Amino acid sequence: MKVAVVGATGLVGTKMLQVLEERNFPVTELIPVASEKSVGKEIAFKGKQYTVVGMQTAIDMRPAVALFSAGGSTSTQWAPAFAAAGITVIDNSSAWRMDPAKKLVVPEINAGELTPADKIIANPNCSTIQMVVALAPLHKRYTAKRIVVSTYQSVTGTGVKAVNQLMNERKGVEGEMAYKYPIDLNVIPQIDVFLENGYTKEEMKMVNETKKIMGDDSIRVTSTTVRIPVMGGHSESVNIEFEEDFDLNEVRSLLSASPGVVVVDDPSAQQYPMPMDAHERDEVFVGRIRRDETQPNTLNLWIVSDNLRKGAATNAVQIAEYLVAHRLL
């Protein structure tokens, strides 16, 4: 099986290669794809060297599937060309997520909606993915009415430039700035650009994508997304109001039994999920499970996941695995 990774030299593209290798995805030939400035570079994969090629060359090589992580404008321009050639695209950008004709997929929740006709499949936003993986079994049981989420997001979500800014600031070195402000010893309550309603694009992604993935437009979601100086993964404080009341032991049981979820919740031993624990892991970690005592049927959760893995690369590879397992390619 020929597999193309578009944006193979970037932070998420590199992670996609790592995850493909770790999960032993059946790659017979890798096609690393990047911008013209990277064409001709060599990339190592499973002990072999592969040469980075351009977009049209990759299409002409006819991979079965192409994992895209090269930004929205690139996806808008090139994903339809890959799809027209019969190549299934799994796109990590925001370009296709809210297109009503495209599926927005988290495999644990809605991979069953996929068909062979789906040639462009959208990978959700990283902060949305980890929240809905934990939310899905609870929504199914108790029906979520309203969600209030505040995120604490790793600099890796911005990219290499932001990682370099953080490291330079730690060393006291002048360098290129990914953010308008320092990030070390600071918190920046803005991720992506502001919209007319006062929310950022990242915040509205969480609102809209959650409804689409869950298949329920009645869920009310409000979000505040914040960048913090960590690198292990994203964290979220999530407050969920349900239609029905719940038992906390049943909540823990439902979460523990849910694919891709690990419960770490023992306050007496000071055990709870942290980004450093989620780093290089594929699971979504849930802790600080407790009732909101200010109103009925409302739950507080703390959710942590590696944003480059489950929040991006792993979710995309899991979609590809589902397509292979169900002969949809």
Which one of the listed residues 126, 139, 279, 326 is annotated catalytic?
126
Computed from CA positions of residues 102, 107, 111, 117, in that sequence, does the dihedral angle turn out positive or negative?
positive
DSSP-assigned beta bridge partners for residue 237: 150, 302
Q: Which residue, 107, 75, 83, 126, is CA-closest to 310?
A: 126
Q: What single-letter DSSP state applies at residue 271?
A: B
| CA–CA gap between residue 199 and residue 135 (Å, rounded) | 22
Question: Which residues have CB under 8 Å from 146's CB, separation 6+?
Answer: 219, 220, 221, 222, 240, 241
Annotation says 234 is catalytic: yes
Which one of the listed residues 139, 234, 279, 326 is annotated catalytic?
234
Secondary structure E strands in 157-295: 220-227, 234-242, 261-263, 284-291
Alpha carbon separation from 150 to 28, 71, 90, 207, 223 (Å, rounded): 42, 25, 28, 12, 6
Collapsed DSSP state (helix, strand, coil) of residue 299: strand
Torsion of CA 244, 149, 218, 109, to 10 degrees: -80
Bin 52: left if φ > 0, else alpha if -120 < ψ < 50, else beta.
Answer: beta
CA angle 278, 279, 285 (to 5 degrees): 10
Bin 215: left if φ > 0, else alpha if -120 < ψ < 50, else beta.
Answer: left
* Catalytic (active-site) positions: 126, 234
